[in-house]
Amino acid sequence: QSALTQPPSASGSPGQSVTISCTGTSSDVGGYKYVSWHQHHPGKAPKLMIYEVSKRPSGVPDRFSGSKSGNTASLTVSGLQAEDEADYYCSSYAGSNNYVFGTGTKVTVL
Partner 1 sequence: EVQLVESGGGLVQPGRSLRLSCAASGFIFDDYAMHWVRQAPGKGLEWVSGISWNSGYIGYADSVKGRFTISRDNAKNSLYLQMNSLRPEDTALYYCARPKAPYYYYCMDVWGKGTTVTVSS
Among 71, 75, 102, 107, binds partner 1 (CB under 8 A): 102
12 forms beta bridges with 109
- Using rule CB under 8 A, residue 9 touches partner 1: no
- Using rule CB under 8 A, residue 66 touches partner 1: no
38 forms beta bridges with 48, 89
- Using rule CB under 8 A, residue 39 touches partner 1: no
Q: How far apart are CA 106 and CA 87, in angstroms?
A: 4
Sign of CA dihedral 16, 20, 21, 27: negative
Give the range of 13-21, 31-39, 59-67, 77-85 binding partner 1 by CB under 8 A: 31-39
Closest residue by Cα to residue 100 from 20, 15, 27, 10 = 27
Among 17, 57, 69, 83, binds partner 1 (CB under 8 A): 57
Is the Cβ of residue 31 or residue 79 nearer to partner 1 in the bound state? 31
Residue pair 39/90 in contact by the 8 Å Cβ criterion: no
Give the range of 17-25, 59-67, 71-79, 94-102 binding partner 1 by CB under 8 A: 94-102
- Using rule CB under 8 A, residue 38 touches partner 1: yes
